[in-house]
């Protein structure tokens, strides 16, 4: 079962008690995925198709509240596919659509322009219905956060965006082939949307994934920073060793001032030691800045005598 199916399975089991909310939910379902057809008798029928049996049961239940003669047809998509298509059909669709306030009696068509929803609960119900019938969401444990709902017409997508903005969301719209896709990309926005539509169990899964990703990213940043520091320390250490060897060839380490001679001797014996560890080897011990100062003097002297940094490398 995909994560989208898990979310929808949770949503279709919700008990929606308010009549206004059930109407708003059905309104979104019809506007997002409903089609009209003319019957032989001249009447208009409403079709809503879905592959999800749980969604089909919910849609059928909502439609029957307005049209008791609604029926469900089950069809096989093709001979080689196991997926079934559930088709909810309601005759005399004008009655249902008029009850929902989305029927244009003069044009004999669905009214796709913006409709005012009654209250905040109705806005949430509308978003829930829209996601149930046309929404998908990425698995937060596998890929980036992405939630989208598909509309056939731009008016539908614009109204869906308007409802989402009323709920303090920031949706975006993109045209994909002949369809309009309303989507959310940020993890926080996806969590807020799931909370609005009542998918609280799914919300906890997304939040858990966000926490794990955040911890993993933080660990990766710390490891990368530590690795960079180690690389920097090792590179500097071997450069210093090469400089000391170069000085020994050119002038002999024994001819260096006592402080630099002692530092060159300690660094040569302990090429992998950090500045703090080197400082502890002196008698009396030196600070990191003092050790670094002496090593810089050795490097400056080597470069002055002709040392080329290209000669620096890692040694075994």
> What is the per-residue pLDDT across 17-55, written as a single tens digit (0 to 9) for each?
888 899 999 999 999 988 888 876 667 889 999 999 999
Closest CA to 286 of 310, 260, 312: 260
Residues of the chain above pLDDT 70, percent: 90
Q: Is residue 60 part of a domain?
A: yes
Q: Is residue 211 part of a domain?
A: no
Return the CATH number at 62.
3.10.28.10
Judgement on whether residues 15 and 163 belong to the same structural domain of the protein: yes
Token look-up 């949706």 returns 171
Which range of 100-109, 158-167, 227-236 scores highest in mean pLDDT? It is: 158-167
Judgement on whether residues 27 and 164 belong to the same structural domain of the protein: yes
Label residues 49-68 b or e (16+ Cβ within 10 Å = b): bbebebbbebbbebbeebbe
pLDDT surpasses 70 at 297: yes
Q: Kindly state the helix (H) or strand (E) to which residue 76 belongs, with its residue range.
A: strand 71-76
What is the residue range of 291's domain?
232-311
Judgement on whether residues 236 and 194 belong to the same structural domain of the protein: no
pLDDT of residue 315: 44
Judgement on whether residues 54 and 126 belong to the same structural domain of the protein: yes
Judgement on whether residues 194 and 238 belong to the same structural domain of the protein: no
pLDDT of residue 18: 86
Which range of 25-39, 137-151, 169-183, 240-254 scores highest in mean pLDDT? It is: 169-183
Reported as a pLDDT band with limits 50, 70 and 90, residue 82 is low
Q: Is residue 217 part of a domain?
A: no
Which range of 36-50, 77-91, 104-118, 234-248 scores highest in mean pLDDT? It is: 234-248
Judgement on whether residues 175 and 66 belong to the same structural domain of the protein: yes
Reported as a pLDDT band with limits 50, 70 and 90, residue 1 is confident
Q: Is residue 83 part of a domain?
A: yes
Judgement on whether residues 9 and 136 belong to the same structural domain of the protein: yes
Helix axes 120-134, 19-33, angle to 10 degrees: 40
Judgement on whether residues 194 and 247 belong to the same structural domain of the protein: no
Q: Is residue 80 part of a domain?
A: yes
Rounded-to-integer distance, Cα 1 and Cα 75, Å: 21
What are the residue ranges of helices labelled H in the chain? 3-12, 19-33, 53-64, 93-100, 120-134, 154-166, 187-197, 200-250, 258-269, 275-280, 288-304
pLDDT of residue 144: 82
**Last residue of a domain, which of 148, 174, 198?**
198
Q: Is residue 147 part of a domain?
A: yes
Total count of domains within the chain: 2
Rounded-to-integer distance, Cα 302 and Cα 24, Å: 80
pLDDT of residue 80: 57
Judgement on whether residues 134 and 251 belong to the same structural domain of the protein: no
Q: Is residue 218 part of a domain?
A: no
Judgement on whether residues 124 and 259 belong to the same structural domain of the protein: no
pLDDT of residue 272: 84
Judgement on whether residues 193 and 236 belong to the same structural domain of the protein: no
- Other CB atoms within 10 Å distance of the CB of residue 156: 23
Rounded-to-integer distance, Cα 134 and Cα 34, Å: 11
Please check whether residue 180 is in contact with residue 154, taking contact to mean a CB–CB distance below 8 angstroms: yes
The mean pLDDT value for 224-235 works out to: 87
Judgement on whether residues 307 and 161 belong to the same structural domain of the protein: no
Q: Is residue 219 part of a domain?
A: no
């Amino acid at each position: 079962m995909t994560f989208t199916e898990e979310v929808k399975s949770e949503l279709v089991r919700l008990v929606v008690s308010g009549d206004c909310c059930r109407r708003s939910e059905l309104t979104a379902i019809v506007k997002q995925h409903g089609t009209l057809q003319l019957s032989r008798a001249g009447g208009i029928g409403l079709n809503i198709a879905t592959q999800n049996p749980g969604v089909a049961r919910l849609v059928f239940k909502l439609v029957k509240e307005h049209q008791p003669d609604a029926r469900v047809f089950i069809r096989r998509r093709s001979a080689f596919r196991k997926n079934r298509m559930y088709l909810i059909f309601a005759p005399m669709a004008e009655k249902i659509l008029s009850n929902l306030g989305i029927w244009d009696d003069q044009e004999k068509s669905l009214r796709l322009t913006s409709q005012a929803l009654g209250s905040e609960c109705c806005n949430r119900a509308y978003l829930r219905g829209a996601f149930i019938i046309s929404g998908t969401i990425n698995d937060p444990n596998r890929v980036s956060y992405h939630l989208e709902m598909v509309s056939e017409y731009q008016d539908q997508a614009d109204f869906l965006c308007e409802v989402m903005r009323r709920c303090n969301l920031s949706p975006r719209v993109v045209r994909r082939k002949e369809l309009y896709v309303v989507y959310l990309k940020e993890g926080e926005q996806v969590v807020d949307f799931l909370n609005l539509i009542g998918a609280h169990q799914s919300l906890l899964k997304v939040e858990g994934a966000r926490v794990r990703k955040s911890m993993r990213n933080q660990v990766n940043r710390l490891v990368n920073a530590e690795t960079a520091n180690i690389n920097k320390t090792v590179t500097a250490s071997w450069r210093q060793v090469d400089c000391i060897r170069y000085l020994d060839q050119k002038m002999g380490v024994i001819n260096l001032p006592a402080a630099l001679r002692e530092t060159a001797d300690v660094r040569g014996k302990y090429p992998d030691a950090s500045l703090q560890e080197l400082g502890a080897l002196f008698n009396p011990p030196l600070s990191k800045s003092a050790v670094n100062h002496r090593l810089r003097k050795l490097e400056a002297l080597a470069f002055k005598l002709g040392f080329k940094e290209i000669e620096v490398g890692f040694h075994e």
